[in-house]
Amino acid sequence: KQQSKMSANLRKKLLFFMSNSHPVSQFSQQLPTLSRFEHKFSTDLDEIKAWDHYGNIDGIISQPIGAKQAFPTILSENRSIQWVHSLMAGVDAILVPELVKSDIIVTNAKGAYSEGLSEFTMSAILSYYK
């Protein structure tokens, strides 16, 4: 049991700043590599603060809704955060002053939706002219 507790302490702690009903949350159940991480899905600050690993979060994967309100507290109380990822192409919804002033790496989903969006656009054009 001691070995299990030690290995759990070595695993990275990821906060998925999104609700349990978010499609990423639903998909995550099928993601075997996620079991290598301690993780939490929530946008509720009280619920996040109650998480056993709060204070030692290594990274955040975030939807933009609610981030501006919650991030200042989360960032100031979790000095171990090294990475924040926005599920959107833009990052303006998550760029709070605490994040801008820090050395935390910020990434986004730029280009992740490009192919699907272009296929939809071409399909709509072809359908219209049919």
Cβ–Cβ under 8 Å, residues 70 and 17 = yes
pLDDT score recorded for residue 21 = 72
**Residue 105 pLDDT:** 93
1: confidence class by pLDDT, cuts 50, 70, 90: very low
CA–CA separation, 84 vs 92, rounded Å? 13
- What per-residue confidence (pLDDT) applies to 31? 64
State yes or no: pLDDT of 120 exceeds 70: no
Whole-prediction pTM: 0.74
Task: Indicate the DSSP class of residue 29.
Answer: T
| Cα angle for residues 33, 116, 22 (degrees, 5° grid) | 45
pLDDT at 111 over 80: no
Mean pLDDT computed over 25-38: 69
Answer whether residue 38 shows pLDDT above 70. Answer: yes
